[in-house]
A and B are shown apart, each in its own frame.
Chain A
Amino acid sequence: MIVAERKPIDEILGMVQDAERILVLGCRGCVTVCSAGGEREVEILASLIRLGMKKQGKQVEIIEGSLVRQCDKEYIDGIDQWQGRYDIIISTACGVGVNFIANLRPTDRVYPALNTSFLGGSPEQGVWTEQCAGCGNCVLHLTGGLCPVARCAKSLMNGPCGGSVNGKCEINPQVECVWQSIHDRLGRLDNQEMMNDIMPIRDWSTAGHGGPRKTLRDDLTI
């Protein structure tokens, strides 16, 4: 899922200073699962905005809403139900959602309530960790299913580096060295010799270094 977290309330209050009617718009996709921007978080953020503005002696009218997703055109149309009732939209979706509203609602003012962090998973309740960098050229079949692009601080393709100590990364003793983990896992799978294969210099053009990426599925387009 896409993992995100709420921006500091001061920053959000700065965005809404001139607004009298605000639509706080949640997303029932990834940000609901990571407890950053679903219906419950919309309710909390709306309350925080009202309290923050009241502290400044200002009154705001807030509509609390949510869409199935903010990353599909068909669902963005759902904003029409609040047409004419808001000055600005505070989106609690990931950055994709904010972009989609900006793309599809050319005259609407839309601002992000979240900092979109990474593609990750939840190893335990309340914890999320980065697992994938969306690099567009997956090598997990060569690395025991563990991603060196997302989980190695240097995104090394032939690790570990000299900073790997007792299975930990030199950047932080709390961070695992994923190349040590790859080595150990390949060993358990009786594939340790794969570590001897030297991966070639990587073409990063699929990772966004060639500009914004686009996927087109001709079998799905109408």
Chain B
Amino acid sequence: MSFTPDIQAFCCHYTSQQTVAEGREGLKNDGLPDSVTLNRLVCTGKLQVSALLKAFEDGADGVYVAGCPADECHNMKGSKRAAKRVQAVKRALKELGVEPERVEMYHLPRGFHMEFVEAAQEMDKRIKDLGPCPLKGENK
């Protein structure tokens, strides 16, 4: 079954500088999948568990967070906090009987790097393989 997933990416100001520099079209030319919607944050440390769950409530099939390298966060511990919250959402998804792989944390270098696009491509492939998120209730 082929489907176009809805993937919500939460990226910090520093890891997503590329989006500002290149714009959506530029990123698309670099290979950013259409399925990925970028949500820019000042810092991923600001992201709460409830915001990630809300993305699933709003119909996301997959969610990921792109923050600074764990030991090089611009705001010291922001991306480490985000990674912990992603883990909490993984546990919550597991409790709900949903694949925890639907949410992921990426620690990416700041500035212009292909890793930013590669993370999006990895999630696009992963979510396409998993299929639509059961939390949408469409299988009932």
Residues of A that sit less than 8 Å from B by CB: 8-10, 40, 43-44, 47-48, 50-52, 54-58
Say how far B93's CB is from chain A's closest CB, in angstroms.
9
Say how far B56's CB is from chain A's closest CB, in angstroms.
6
- Kindly report which residue of chain A lies nearest to residue B91, judged by CB atoms: A9
- Contact call B95/A8, Cβ cutoff below 8 A: yes
Q: Which of A40, A43, A51 contacts B96 (CB 8 A)?
A: A51
Interface string of B76-98 (1 = CB under 8 A from A): 00000000000000001001111
Q: Which residues does chain B contribute within 8 Å of A58, judged by CB atoms? A: 137
- Interface membership of B136, Cβ < 8 A: yes
Q: In terms of DSSP, what is the predominant structure of the interface of chain B?
A: helix
Interface string of B122-135 (1 = CB under 8 A from A): 00000000000011
Q: In terms of DSSP, what is the predominant structure of the interface of chain A?
A: helix
Interface size class of B (residues with CB under 8 A): 10 to 19
Say how far A52's CB is from chain B's closest CB, in angstroms.
5
Q: Which of B50, B96, B135, B136 contacts A44 (CB 8 A)?
A: B50
Q: Which residues does chain A contribute within 8 Å of B95, judged by CB atoms? A: 8-10, 48
Interface string of B37-80 (1 = CB under 8 A from A): 00000000000111001101100000000000000000000000
- Contact call A47/B137, Cβ cutoff below 8 A: no
Q: A44-B50, A56-B140, A58-B137 are in contact. List 15 more A-B contacts (CB 8 A).
A: A8-B95, A10-B95, A40-B48, A43-B50, A44-B92, A47-B50, A47-B53, A50-B57, A51-B56, A51-B135, A55-B96, A55-B97, A55-B98, A55-B135, A57-B140
Residues of B that sit less than 8 Å from A by CB: 48-50, 53-54, 56-57, 92, 95-98, 134-137, 140
- Contact call B53/A44, Cβ cutoff below 8 A: yes
Q: Which residues does chain B contribute within 8 Å of A55, judged by CB atoms? A: 96-98, 134-135, 137, 140
Provide 6 A-B residue pairs closer than 8 Å at the C-beta atoms, listed in order of the A residue.
Answer: A40-B48, A43-B48, A47-B50, A54-B135, A54-B137, A55-B134
Cα(A56)–Cα(B96), bound, Å: 10
Cα(A10)–Cα(B136), bound, Å: 18
Cα(A134)–Cα(B95), bound, Å: 33
Q: Which residues does chain B contribute within 8 Å of A54, judged by CB atoms? A: 57, 135-137
